[in-house]
Amino acid sequence: MAADFIDLKSPYMAGHSRRCAQLGADAGRLLGFTEEAITTLRRAALVHDFGTTAVPNSIWDKTGPLTRAEFDRIELHPMLTEQMLRRSPALAVLNGLACAHHEKADGSGYHKRLRADGAADPGACVLAAADIYVGLTTERADRPPLAEADAAAEVRRLASQGVLDSRAADVVLTAAGHGAPAAAVLVRRNTPGRDSPVGEVEVLHLAAMGLTTKQIADRLFISPKTADHHIQHVYTKIGVSSRAAAALWATQHAVVS
């Protein structure tokens, strides 16, 4: 696999792309991405660091602080990835995700200084959060790996400061095993009506309000069997197994007041 070969650039990078790909895919699944979107995200994560090959190992493996010039070289690697992927029609379609993994929600990232928009491009925001979490939990030349709990705390801090998209950060941490997801991971129905996809927020809200499965089905214009399927899916997603626990979770996360 090309990603594994690229990650051999430095002993501190080994397995990075695969870990990002798996974590990103797991987070995408929590967000309700289609299988096609999950596959695209996984592939983008596998190639997102191709540009690192053009940055000298003397920089990647430096044990002391980087100079401004050295950090400028590092900031070029997403652009170099973009240039490499552009040469292949099969890989060029991944550029939008692969080259945005260092962009930040507040525009402080690189290389284009874009404001990563979790609503417009959730996949890019997921990859950005996954890349940071994986990087923090991996040994680097200038520091030991952070404990997973400490890495999660840092990701939460970045999200609270608006550096990372909060929804993406939340699902990445959930996928990494750090607690139950916040309500943001639940898919909301955009428009009411018979032809609108069922929204997980609405399912949880109705269940938490005490409606029976049949009543939920009637409200959402679906069969009781389908309603029960959605209820069980929501329970799994938020980590509960009963109506009472779901109601408590919904109250704690402001799904119901």
Q: What pairs with residue 140 in β-bridges?
A: 143
Domain count of the fold of the chain? 2
Question: Is residue 257 situated within a structural domain?
Answer: no
Return the pLDDT at 182. Answer: 55
Domain stop point among 180, 215, 243: 180
Question: Is residue 108 situated within a structural domain?
Answer: yes
Query: 248: pLDDT confidence band, cut at 50, 70 and 90?
Result: confident
Residue 163 has pLDDT above 80, yes or no: yes
Return the pLDDT at 70. Answer: 96
Domain stop point among 160, 180, 200: 180
Q: Could you tell me which residue, 194 or 255, shows the higher pLDDT?
A: 255
Question: Is residue 168 situated within a structural domain?
Answer: yes
Which of 7-21, 34-48, 128-142 bottoms out in mean pLDDT, i.e. has the lowest?
7-21
Domain stop point among 180, 208, 226: 180
Domain CATH code at residue 77: 1.10.3210.10
Residue 181 has pLDDT above 70, yes or no: no
| Domain shared by 163 and 239, yes or no | no
Residue 256 has pLDDT above 70, yes or no: no
Tens digits of per-residue pLDDT, 108-139? Answer: 999 888 887 655 688 999 999 999 999 999 99
Question: Is-contact 146 1, C-beta < 8 A?
Answer: no
Domain hosting residue 59, numbered range: 2-180
